[in-house]
A = this chain, B = another copy of it.
Amino acid sequence: MTARRAGAAAPTVWIINPNTTAAMTAGIERCARAVAAPTTTVVGVTSEIGPASIESHYDEAVAVPGVLRAIERGEREGVDGYVIACFGDPGLDAARELATGPVLGIAEAAMHTASHLGRGFSVVTTLARTVGRAWDLANHYGMQRFCRGVHACDIPVLDLETDPGARKIVTDACREAIEADGSDAVVLGCAGMASMCAPISAELGVPVVDGVTAATLTVQSLITLGLGTSKRLEFAKPAPKDYRTGG
């Protein structure tokens, strides 16, 4: 086993949607493809088990097995890298144990990316009860000094695509967030907001970061650099053991 893999010339990256709503996967895949290199194959993958949307710690917890099952399938198919396309980054540590190539969460990628654009960013998320998780992740990634505030716009995840007024509500929340926080940039706190990124940025005149596209390019870059999760210790592949599955 080598730690450094030859940078795949024509890599395949899976964008895993941890919820089971295929329509959302399609939108995510479209955004990811639009930024990936022509030589990169981007595939949106809908989780086969779990909740229709992720809006609580419970939803996130029960979404994780589906994410891991997707990673296991991807490994069998030789996938080069993965994006977990939910802003709670569910199952990220476990996914890194399973995968040979790099795995990024979209909150992770978005926060890191936004930190390169100024002194601080505001996160705009869906429901208020997800605000705490966003702060946990900011702390976990060392981004708390860049994260100026996390703001909910009180739209359920699945309404982002169907509610015709959704984009205006999110845009208004972004505008208020940068004013209140004195921020330089906005991070969109839900994979379902990916397609809103360009128009909101155009309207507000500040950089707006979507995690799906940010993570796709980060994974693509890591593959080019031949980098993946270190298998030295904590993230080595778990030893096979007896797992009892539910009935």
Interface set of A (CB-CB < 8 Å, partner B): 1-4, 7, 20, 35, 37, 48-53, 55-62, 64-66, 68-69, 91, 93-94, 96-98, 102, 104, 108, 112-113, 115-119, 128-129, 131-132, 136, 139-146, 178, 182-185, 198, 201-202, 204-209, 213-214, 217-218, 220-222, 224-230, 232-236, 238-239, 241-247
Contacts and interface: CB of A to CB of B under 8 A. Distances in A.
B113 A142 contact: no
A217 B207 contact: no
Residue with the greatest number of chain B CB neighbours at <10 A, chosen from A55, A56, A108, A113: A56
Q: How many copies does the complex hold?
A: 6
Given A48-B247, A118-B230, 19 more contacts: A48-B244, A52-B242, A58-B68, A58-B238, A59-B241, A62-B64, A69-B246, A102-B116, A104-B116, A112-B112, A112-B116, A113-B221, A116-B229, A117-B230, A119-B235, A182-B233, A198-B226, A213-B225, A218-B221
A132 B234 contact: yes
Given A51-B242, A226-B201, A221 B217 contact: yes
Nearest to A158: B241
Given A4-B198, A243-B52, A94 B61 contact: yes
B117 A243 contact: no
Given A3-B201, A37-B37, A119-B132, A97 B56 contact: yes
Nearest to A6: B198
A55 B131 CA distance: 30
